[in-house]
Amino acid sequence: MRRLRHRRRCGGDEGRLPSLGRGALPLLCFIWLLAASSAAAQDEVTIGSTKSDKEVEYGEPTEAHTDGRDLPKSNETLERRITVLLDEMLKSHDKRIRPNYGGPPVEVNITALITTISAVSEVSMDYTLDLYLRQIWRDDRLAFPSETPMSLTIGIDMVNQIWTPDTFFPNEKKSFFHEATSHNSFLRIDNHGNVLRSIRLTVTANCPMSLHTFPLDTQQCALEIESYGYSTKDIVYHWHNNESLKMEHGVYDGLAHFTVGKHFQIEREISTSTGSYSRLTAIFNFKRNIGFYLIQIYFPSSLIVVISWVSFWLNREAVQARVAIGVTTVLTMTTLMTSTNGSLPKVSYVKSLDIFLGVCFFIVFASLVEYAAVGYMIKRHRLRLANGTSAPSPVTYFESETSPNLQPANGRMRNGSNRLRRNNNRSAKSSINIPMDHLDAEHIVPLLVAVPVTRRPRFTFRPAQVDLASRILFPLFFVVFQIIYWYWYFFSTMGSEYKEDRGEDAP
């Protein structure tokens, strides 16, 4: 209770003092302000009076005063004039109705400047490009009177208040505007009512690719431009002139694995169930750079094929070495083929690269099989020898029995043959005089050896012959294949250039 009372007193005391202050301060302030303002007014008046005095002296009473503010004022009036003009423009403008309504279709002219092309992808079958898309059309409702040719560049906000064509890209997958630092677009209106709208876009467009000749191919990708809603009765698109489609220079260096070739612009009409629409098409040619594939695939796989031939020069008895070379090269080729096709779409037809790798694989595989065949022949040969010792036959009998005696006989044989020649020189009949021991060595041995040869099937080869033939046939086949392959490559690229030329004429 005491505390409360005390508070009340204090509160009362405090309350009284400020209440007095509240009443007094505004009053004081008001008085002070009045005084100050009156003083300022007096100053202004004095300054103004001095100026006006001078003006009076120069004989320009009131006009001079406005003249001093004329510079900004004239600008202001221009501004105001344009504001009024735009307001009037928009007041009478119905953005729901196209220009020339009921009359001939609006001509919308297009120009495009391609700044970059990136990510031409055969996996997703698309490509991405950055471009400035400019649309030019004439809207008489936006014409304004002006003595001199004049164009107004207006903020993008106005785009929402006037009619614009509903252009879209029929083959677009995704695209976006650029918003840094503000929406990258502008609108320009000239006094005749020609409207230019420029937008910066990044478009990822669909591009179906045929990979039959991959990686020796040239791809054609299109960017299509069409009105979404207005048929040819309302909008007709045109390329602004015959060079409306332009590339910035950086485009040509921007793609690593393609060379950007010629580009074309086409105008045509597309019929759908909702009517016929005017469509513009820009066509770009991308020629694949072979360098990467030469270095990464063609050269290594050719070397692997060459390595597999080393086996033909190795000893036939070196089973481990020859099998190791064969198996390793086959496995390496398999890996190369798998990794190459891993980065490509899973198409169900044969590509040029598949042909090359397939042939390489075939050669490598064949050289492994060749050694298997050689090994088999050696084995059969040994078997035959082994059979010979167990079951006596005239051949093996001779070989096994007389082979130790052959060596000295050979020595005599040479002497004998020398004699033979000499005898032959003298007279044909003298050959009869050859001693029997020489006959033994020279004539009987081949005769007896010839017996089993006639018994064997005719098509058998000796293992050494197979290796010898492989040493020539394998490289020959590969070289011929390479010549045909690359000849066909150059032929096909010439064909694609021809196609490019035809593309220009196409409607």
Ligand X SMILES: *[C@@H]1O[C@H](CO)[C@@H](O)[C@H](O)[C@H]1NC(C)=O
**Cβ closer to ligand X: 171 or 265?**
265
Contact 507/268 with Cβ under 8 angstroms? yes
Label residue 474 exposed, middle or buried (CB < 10 Å: 0-12, 13-18, 19+): buried
Q: How far apart are CA 472 and CA 306, in angstroms?
A: 12
Considering the complex, state which of residue 49 and residue 77 has its C-beta at the smaller distance from ligand X.
Answer: 77
Closer of 172 and 497 to ligand X (Cβ)? 497
Cβ-based nearer residue to ligand X, 109 or 171: 109
Minimum distance, C-beta of residue 486 to ligand X, in the bound complex (Å): 34
Q: Based on CB atoms, which residue is closest to ligand X, 75 or 424?
A: 75
Tell me how far, at minimum, the Cβ of 157 lies from ligand X, in Å: 23
Binding residues for ligand X, per CB under 6 A? 71, 74-75, 107, 109, 136-138, 194, 238, 240-243
Q: Minimum distance between the CB of residue 79 and ligand X, rounded to whole angstroms?
A: 9
**14 vs 504, which CB is nearer to ligand X?**
504
Dist CA 191 CA 148 (whole Å): 9
The whole-angstrom separation of Cα 334 and Cα 338 is 6
Looking at the Cβ atoms of 42 and 77, the one nearer to ligand X is: 77
Minimum distance of ligand X from residue 100's CB (angstroms): 11
Q: Could you tell me the smallest distance in angstroms from the CB atom of residue 197 to ligand X?
A: 12
* Amino acid at the residue 421: R
> Nearest approach, Cβ of 505 to ligand X (angstroms)?
12
Give the position of tokens 């879209």. 168
CB of 154 to ligand X, least distance (A): 18
As measured in angstroms, the least distance from the Cβ of 280 to ligand X is 11
Q: Report the chain's C-alpha Rg in angstroms.
A: 49
Q: Could you say which DSSP state residue 406 is in?
A: H
CB of 100 closer than 8 Å to CB of 172: no
Cβ-Cβ contacts under 8 Å for 223 (sequence gap 6 or more): 112, 129, 169, 171, 203, 205, 281, 282, 284
Instruction: Tell me how far apart the alpha carbons of residues 442 and 435 are, in angstroms, rounded to a whole number.
Output: 11
Place of tokens 């009987």: 444
Question: Which residue lies nearer to ligand X by CB, 138 or 257?
Answer: 138
CB-based contacts of 61: which residues, under 8 Å, 6+ apart?
A: 52, 55
Residue 204, CA distances (Å) to 113, 119, 131, 298, 380 in order = 16, 9, 11, 31, 66
- Ramachandran region, residue 125 (left: φ > 0; alpha: ψ -120 to 50; beta: rest): left
Residues 114, 133 contacting (CB under 8 angstroms): no
Give the integer Cα–Cα distance in Å for 84 and 89. Answer: 8
Beta carbon of residue 74, minimum distance to ligand X (angstroms, whole number): 4
Quote the longest CA-to-CA distance of the chain.
Answer: 170
Question: From the CB of 254, what's the least distance to ligand X, in Å?
Answer: 24
Q: Which is nearer to ligand X, 78 or 372 (CB)?
A: 78
CB of 127 to ligand X, least distance (A): 24
**Is-contact 345 123, C-beta < 8 A?**
yes
User: Which CB atom, from 99 or from 254, has the smaller least distance to ligand X?
Assistant: 99
Contacts with 138 (C-beta within 8 Å, 6 or more apart), sequence order: 99, 106, 107, 192, 193, 194, 195
CB of 77 to ligand X, least distance (A): 9
Query: Which of residues 207 and 245 has its CB atom nearest to ligand X in the complex?
Result: 245
Report the residue number, 282 or 368, with the smaller CB distance to ligand X. Answer: 282
Secondary structure of residue 26 in the 3-state scheme: helix
